[in-house]
Structure 1
Amino acid sequence: MKLYFNIEYHTKNGERLELVIDDKDSTLRNHAMFHTENGLWKCEVDFFSKTINYKYQLKDEKENVLREEFVSHHLNFPHNYKEFLIFDEWNSKNFPENYLNNKILKNKLHQFSQRKISVLKKHTHLFRIEAPIYNPDWEVVLIGNTPSLGNWSYEKSIHLSQTDFGIWETSVDIPEIQLIQYKYAIFDTKKGKIIDIESGENRSTDPNQQKDVLHIVADHYFRFKSYQMYHDAGVAVPVFSLRTEDGFGVGEFSDLKKLADWADKAALGIIQILPINDTTATYSWTDSYPYAAVSVYALHPQYISIESLEYDLPKELVDEYHAKKAELNSLDLIDYEKVISAKWKYLKAVFKTEKEKIYKDRSFKKFIKDNEEWLLPYSAFCVLRDKYNTPNFKEWKTHKKYIAGKIAPFFSVKNKDYDASMLHAWVQFELHKQLQNALDYTHGLGISLKGDLPIGIYRYSVEAWTEPELFGMDFQAGAPPDQFTEIGQNWGFPTYNWEAMKADNYRWWKNRFTALEQYFDAMRIDHILGFFRIWRMPVSATQGILGYFYPAVPVVSEEFKARHIPFDFERYCKPFINDEILSKYFGEETFKALEFINKNSDGTYQFKEEFNTQRKIVDYFKDKAENISEKLISLCANVLFLTEEKNGEIVYHPRFHVFKTESYQCLSDWEKKSIYELYQDYFFKRQDYLWKEKAMEKLPVILNSTDMLICGEDLGLVPDCVPEVMDELGIVALKVQRMPPGNLPFYNPKNAGYMNVVTASSHDSSTLRQWWKENQALTQTYFNQQLNQWGKAADDLDPYLAEMIIKQHLYNDAMLAIFPIQDLFAIDEKLINSAMHNERINNPAVFPHYWRYRMHLNLENLTENLEFSQKISNWINDSGRG
């Protein structure tokens, strides 16, 4: 076949387009294109298949790829033609057909009618538009300026067939010799008429008088109006927080079905949860932190339902089980340690009793075979963690270093650890079945599940053990100071070795997304800024304040000279301590501090070698009753610049909020001015291009591997390039009213564009009712300016005020409005939690934090409360999100 490609693209001098065809064997063939009049680029290709995948690239004179399409074109060719003239347009990731072509829409329209089209030999044009439409009663039709296209008559419109999800096609014989102008429109099959036509200028294509040549008009981006787009509302609640009448003190996967029953009555189309991966490191309450998984694949055993297993508990444990169940389910908050201890006791008892049947289960055998790549290392890790009472593989007596051949025997029948390994594999099998069962039920109600992808991995996880080369184990990830904490956040996670991940085209990330896609229709990427740059600290630091951006364009020695800054390593890069600072930090306890510092000849002080890092100070005071460690740790951070070794040289990063340090205050005025200017340049000017470049290296490759709708948590110190990249890649942004960008006091949801999720609170913040009482002055401003109310704000958040806030988030153009379940309870005084202090899920300023929130109401009672559900349902339907 002969394929003639045409695409309009305006280039600069020295730039050119190339066509890249992806053959069936995944080899890429590049074809040079030539430029003609009116910015049109052309290319002729001989091709030998009835289907093709391809994309366009923009290159410069040095063969550098300046830009490329992130989403490939896909065409099928009718068998009765030998030549095809293809008219394309650049396919952007942020076209609606690309970000709407996801699992959420496919789930909601799982019964869409797929039809083939007949392309007759006499047909001159095939029109193709990518337009995922969320309303099952709508179809795409075509009208145009020629008699064969109906002369713009709605009654003579040409119906397109949906040949694949969101792909609409029709072939037409257009004999007229004139410029063809046309538009697509939406036809309502129930009303039997066109209800709307796309906006903007007419589309156009050329006439075709060539025999045996088919013009393929491959259009993108149906020009949707706001009401034609997918809008939805949802509820956010961690699985562990779900409460049911017959629960075990913690939410379980099977409880998602009861949550879906209530969501269905309330017209909520999405359930958003926190990460559900196994975090079992020490079996203590610190494992309640859901963002520190010991495996990015394994599910958390706390979510298993003992009563939903295929096997019964041994009879001698039944009474004890029910007593323990009643005890744990009566608690207001989760007792993590009791729950996980009890569940493992009963799981082991069932496994021991039914072991022979379990080993013969063909489905279990298949699960092992299908998942062996991650399941074997995970099971071995769990066995070794329990054997040596630590997840820190560096402290194990054996297998400190992962060697696949030495781990393989854990799944061998003759191995002494075989039963223990199989126990963990079986628990994963049962968890998978229970989650899949809940997901199928939820999908049956037309409700989607949105997951949460942690940005980091736990330092002592299976992944850190098996593939340490992919991570920066000598560093820690975190976040700079923000409204939650003045000292920043140190998550303790290793950073990513992006160069190593890039070497195999981000295989690790693709596998991770593939695993998540089994269960989720949408995914919230935690701290998406980490794909642009991460805030990293050396392992010697304990506070996030001693971090710096990586990668970054650092400060080099020559810059200090150019700015006439009298750089002195000891003065600028070591904690600056004098008598005045000592007195400010320690007051009457200054004499105690002298044990940890030495006095210099110039009257200043420096930390002794054995105490010259935050980590050394923490380790020294670990078991000490008398404690001035916090002040010493803070003093350790009294530096102007942090150092990094790069290509054998030392480079520098200004400490965050350097102008707030005592060290800075002791500088001369002209030194302060010069360092402040350098600080502003470093943080707000020089990094944007680099961070955009790094994000665009990895995000398109990774995100193109999934059909999930991707949402990015883009809060905090957000560089200018982040919203630009997220928009270009069709990533939905997060807007939390209390965490506005810029210097605004609040974010107004009515200003939200379509590619946003709006919410009033998050799992990291206080709930609406709690926040209302935190800062009276701020609440008053919100009451008057955001809610447009007169007078003094009430001391408590009354239900009518909560209702106003919820409605603010429903009535706007944002794609999604998702509410923490605690904030929904706030609209009904009969449903609010009297123990308001129990409602917060996490406090980022407290680490480690105990994640133990439980709903104070049973899901069964909530579902029976028809008045409450109907109230929410009415708002959602009225706002166009139903």
Structure 2
Amino acid sequence: MFSLRSRTDFGIGNFGAMEGLFRWMNEARQKILMVLPLLPTAPGDSSPYATRSAFGLNPLFIDVHQLPEFQATGGEGAFSDEQKRQLAEARAAHRVRYDLVFPLKDAAFGRAFDHFDRHEWGAKTARAKEFQAWREAQGEWLESYALFTAISEDQQRRAWWEWPEPLKHRQPEALKAEGQRLERRVRYHAWLQWVAEQQWNQVRAQAKARGILLCGDEPFIIGQDSADTWAHPDILRRDARLGVPPDDFSATGQDWGLPYFDFAAMEKEDYRWLKARAVKAASYYDLRRVDHAVGYFRQWIRDEKTPTGRFIPSDEESHKKFGERHFRLLSQDAGIIAEDLGVIPPFVRRILADLGLPGYRVMRWERDDNTYRNPHQYPPISLVTTGTHDTEPMADWWDAARDDERAAVARAWPEYQGVPVTKEFTPEIHRAMLAAALNSSSNLCVLPWQDILGTRERINLPGTMSDSNWAYRITQDVEDLLKDEQSRGAAERLSWLTASARR
């Protein structure tokens, strides 16, 4: 979402830009749009996986120009000269300038809410009543999130375990008193969620009208300093740290420093929180990419007793039972795609296939030593793709590959027959690569924007902290995608290849 560029954006993509992308997708014959997580994130953090809530939407993606309260207070014309300069700089920036985007959007939201609070809320207008009815219908997640966010601000954004004891331990009288004292800020954060959901519902209607399915990305776990970990410390445990075990890529594994799920505690309350999360996500999307699918089978945690880590549960039979039970629950009345990448035990993909849940087939990783697998032989219940948000674009991968790797691709992927295999990522090689994905036997095919265009900028470089991570912006305004030569040509090429593949 942050990558979309439009004429009236604030230097970051927003919900108002989606209609332009949908028009391009129709021309390109594409029927599924997969987006990175849209959940609320930590203030000042650009990563969509730095989630502060397992529910709700990120206010950063609100289209300010669709806010009647913003327009009622003068719109951009009411900004100071310095704010106007910063806005122009953010819009023109090659990548998302979060240092400019955060304060500009905060200022716009603050002004709009002040108007709402005085003229709508105070007068109990129909719009205020609509907001109040929505707020009451949301229940626990919204009140916990809004109160958590307001207290966090009041506590200078210190982590919740550093708050005063009564607030840290959620003593009812202390929460009630704090909620009353901070009521206006609590209402503000609830209002932002209402506005975001209103705009997202409009996006959903636009997608449905154009025959496009929306696929969300559901992170496995929530951040430590999050509303859910604060509200549910019994099921989101902080007495150990979640990660992944040692593998061929890391001799020590990875320590993510995240809480872990106490599935036994969840089971005692009939998975109430997990079910509520799934229901809310299902209300946003037609299908969901469940991140780190293996985590629902087993978790790798580190604590003082086992600093190098251990699995919970400890035995394989329990892993199988856990995974099947959890994915039956997650996929009930919902479309699920399981992100089963990395070092995955064979039984994971087998159980997912038995449940009819597609896993991933990233073409460059589908190989046995130096022998690539023929995409025409991928299992039908799978999702084929040329890359993910964590990989370099295919153009860079092709350039960096060894000569024998490129030759191995050409032998295994039928679409390369007759195509000169050169080190250069030529238009012919690019076209064959897209055709190989689309002609695969996987029922689902989702292609990264950069690979569709054959460009080289990446979304994220794992294991690094950089201003370029999570800051990619497309070159064209969405209003001009079908006018710009590069993106119009990409739509025409993709349309022809998709039709030829009979997708």
- TM-score by shorter chain over 0.5: yes
Preserved CA contact (<8 Å) 2:87 2:104: no
Deviations 1:3-62 (A, max 9, x none): xxxxxxxxxxxxxxxxxxxxxxxxxxxxxxxxxxxxxxxxxxxxxxxxxxxxxxxxxxxx
What is residue 349 of structure 2 aligned with on the other side?
Answer: 723
Structure 1 residues 778 and 535: alpha-carbon distance in aligned structure 2, compared to 1, 3 A threshold: farther
Q: CA deviation at 1:512?
A: 0.4
Distance 1:791 1:446, change over 3 A: closer
CA distance in 1, matches of 2:214, 2:350: 27
Structure 1 CA distance for aligned equivalents of residues 453 and 90 of structure 2: 23
3-state DSSP class of the match of 2:2? helix
Give the corresponding residue for 2:482.
863
Please say if residues 266 and 870 of structure 1, whose CA atoms lie closer than 8 Å, have aligned partners that are also in contact: yes
SS of 2:216's equivalent in the other structure is strand
- Deviations 1:410-440, CA, capped at 9 Å, x for gaps: 55xxx33111111111111111111111111
| Residue of structure 2 equivalent to 1:443 | 208
- After TM superposition, list the pairs within 5 Å mapping 1:265-284 onto structure 2: 265-280=27-42, 283-284=43-44
More strand by share: 1
CA contact (8 A) 2:294 2:344 kept: yes
Query: Which of 821, 846, 853 is the matching residue for 2:472?
Result: 853
Matches within 5 A, 1:702-781: 702-704=330-332, 707-740=333-366, 743=369, 745-777=371-403, 779-781=405-407
Which sections of structure 2, spanning at least 5 residues, go unmatched?
none
Amino acid at match of 2:216: G
Distance across 2 between alignment mates of 1:700 and 1:859: 38
Q: Separation in 2 of the partners of 1:530 and 1:796?
A: 39
Name which structure has the greater RCO, CA cutoff 8 Å, separation 6+.
2
Aligned to 2:285: 520
Change (3 A) 1:762 1:778: farther
- Is it true that 1:324 corresponds to 2:324 in the alignment? no
Is the contact made by 1:842 and 1:851 (CA closer than 8 Å) also made in structure 2?
A: yes
Do the aligned partners of 1:376 and 1:410 also contact (CA within 8 Å) in 2? no
Q: 1:246 is matched with which residue?
A: 8
Counterparts in 2 of 1:459 and 1:752: CA distance versus 1, 3 Å: same
User: Which residue of structure 2 lines up, in the alignment, with residue 461 of structure 1?
Assistant: 226
Hey, what's the Cα distance between the residues in 2 that align with 1:448 and 1:792?
36
Contact kept? 2:70, 2:109, Cα under 8 Å: no
Structure 1 residue 475 corresponds to structure 2 residue 97: no
Could you tell me which of 116, 122, 132 is aligned with 1:365? 132
Deviation per residue, 1:281-338 (Å, 9 max, x gap): xx33xx1121221111121121011111121353472464554332111111112232
Match of 1:298 among 49, 52, 56: 56
Deviation at 1:790, TM superposition (A): 8.3
Give the Å deviation of 1:786.
3.6
Distance 2:355 2:8 in 1: 44
- Aligned equivalents of 2:410 and 2:442: distance in 1? 24
Quickly say closer, same or farther: Cα 1:861–1:399, change in 2 above 3 A.
same
Shift of 1:844: 2.0
* Deviation digits for residues 207-234 of structure 1 (CA, Å, limit 9, x no counterpart): xxxxxxxxxxxxxxxxxxxxxxxxxxxx
Matched, 1:429 2:190: no
Q: CA deviation at 1:444?
A: 0.7
- Residues in 2 aligned to 1:539 and 1:550: alpha-carbon distance in whole angstroms: 15
Rounded to whole Å, the distance in 1 between the matches of 2:31 and 2:79 is 38
Determine the C-alpha separation between the residues in 2 that align with 1:374 and 1:367.
Answer: 13
CA distance in 2, matches of 1:260, 1:541: 50
Cα displacement (A) at 1:479: 2.2
Change (3 A) 1:722 1:477: same
State the Cα RMSD in Å: 2.4
1:485/1:844 contact within 8 Å kept: no
| Alpha-carbon spacing, 1:777–1:475, altered in 2? closer, same or farther (3 Å) | farther
Residue 390 (structure 1) aligns with? 157
* Superposed CA offset, 1:766-810 (max 9, x none): 111121233434643445434556898534311211110110011
- For 1:791 and 1:241, the matched residues in 2 are separated by 33
Contact 2:50-2:223 within 8 A present in 1 as well = yes
Q: CA deviation at 1:541?
A: 9.2
Tell me the distance in 1 between the aligned counterparts of 2:466 and 2:267.
33
Aligned residue for 1:338? 100
Hey, which of these two has a bigger chunk of helix by percent? 2
**1:376 and 2:4 equivalent?**
no
Once the 2 structures are TM-superposed, how far is the Cα of residue 752 of structure 1 from its aligned partner? 1.3
Deviations 1:227-262 (A, max 9, x none): xxxxxxxxxxxx111112222111111212211111
Matched length: 487
Between the aligned partners of 1:540 and 1:846, the Cα distance in structure 2 is: 29
Aligned counterpart, 2:436: 808
